[in-house]
Amino acid sequence: MESEAAENSAAAGSRPTRGLDHVYYWVTDMDRSIRFYGDALGLPLLRRDGDEWAEFDAGGARLGLHGRGSGPGPGPGGATAVFQVDDLDRAKATLGVRGIEFGHEAEVKGFARFASFADPDGNTLQIIEYEPGAGR
């Protein structure tokens, strides 16, 4: 399967994308969301354009927040931003002190453990700890 994907990629020519640039969520309250991502998660704010757009350094990619403005915008969901951590239990404890409540937690044996939570608008996020040697 992997070699088939490589052949299809080669047949299609060079890779049409350079990699993930950013992920963005629609939010209802830009100030509240900036506090959540900046203060609670500790992401550095790179840019803010009023209540319409904010962009954070998410470590190798950017995370954007798109204000709903006067239109309804889509509902929460549609994507999940996953942040890698070195120690899942320690990260959960730190984030818990900052008011984050975790929902679903799971382990993929021999690969990773993760925990899910939501931002103030109900968008799903996760933190993940990979097993040593899991290829990450």
CA–CA separation, 101 vs 4, rounded Å? 42
14 has pLDDT over 80? no
pLDDT at position 15 is: 66
Residue ranges of domains in the chain: 15-130
Phi, psi of 9 (to 5 degrees): -65, -45
* pLDDT confidence tier of residue 75, bands split at 50, 70 and 90: low
1 has pLDDT over 60? no
- CATH of 15-130, picked from 3.40.50.970, 3.10.180.10, 1.10.10.10, 3.30.70.260, is 3.10.180.10
Instruction: Give the model confidence (pLDDT) of 18-63 as tens digits.
Output: 667 789 888 989 999 999 999 999 999 999 999 989 999 999 899 9
pLDDT at position 11 is: 47
